[in-house]
Amino acid sequence: MLNESLLLPYWLRHYERYAKRIFVWDGGSTDGTREMLDAHPKVTVFDQACIGLDNNYFTQCFMEYRQLSREADWCLCVAADEFLYHPHLAEKLQILTIHRVRKVQLKGYTMYSQQLPTTQGQIYEEIQYGYHDLWSCKTVLFNPKQEMKWRPGLHVEMSEGRPERDPSLKLLHYRHLSSAYYLERTRRNYQRWQVAGLDVEFNPERTHNLPDGTRGNPYKWYVENTSKLVKVV
């Protein structure tokens, strides 16, 4: 995490309902993120010594996380804007355990709102519309005894064998919370990529690809997909 004070209260309220322990690597937040994390009884914070996309460094972080989580029933590796959602999540995880499921590819949705969230409850109680996004269909829920790999871009990747695909388990990706918020968040990501040595410059009017080559011009991609909204939650 790095400067996630807007989303962090929602993220903590959601995951504290299910998690026994929460591990966070903080990259030097200056907006109150670190203070919120330090104050939470389930959170253990690690100082992120590397800013950018140093995959060797984050591979080591992931291995430390795996060691700490070996005795857990399930592990989930998500960013601050990603929420694992099921209306009866605890019961669903028990069913997966009974059926000896080892890893799950979640059905990903990019959530959309024209304004920032204001609720004091769960973010998905207020912002419920989005669109099915293949880039958010991630295998980030897994049994800690399952061998997983790390791939460039700071993402967990499945090991050998196909994951279970369960459309009732959704990964809600909350990036598009007003145009201004989305543009600022994308600009910050470009700064991280620049620190990592990538020759990129964010310009919402310029046609270019993101460093991972997925979505073309990020702002045009955002605008064009608003017509695909459906009620997700």
SS (HEC) of 145-206? CCCEEEECCCEEEECCCCCEEEEEEEEEEEEEECHHHHHHHHHHHHHHHHHCCCCCCCCCCC
Closest CA to 37 of 18, 60, 21: 21
- Within 10 angstroms of residue 117's Cβ, the number of other Cβ atoms is 19
Using CA atoms, how far residue 220 sits from 39, 159, 205, in Å, is 39, 34, 8
pLDDT by residue, tens only, the chain of 233 residues = 889 999 999 999 999 999 999 999 888 899 999 999 999 999 999 887 665 555 566 666 666 666 676 778 898 989 899 999 999 999 999 999 999 998 899 999 999 998 999 999 999 999 999 989 887 888 889 888 777 666 655 556 656 678 888 899 999 999 889 878 887 887 777 666 555 554 555 665 554 545 444 555 666 767 777 888 999 99
- Within 10 angstroms of residue 228's Cβ, the number of other Cβ atoms is 12
Residue with tokens 């958010």: 136
The SS3 call for residue 99 is coil
Distance CA 122, CA 127 (A): 9
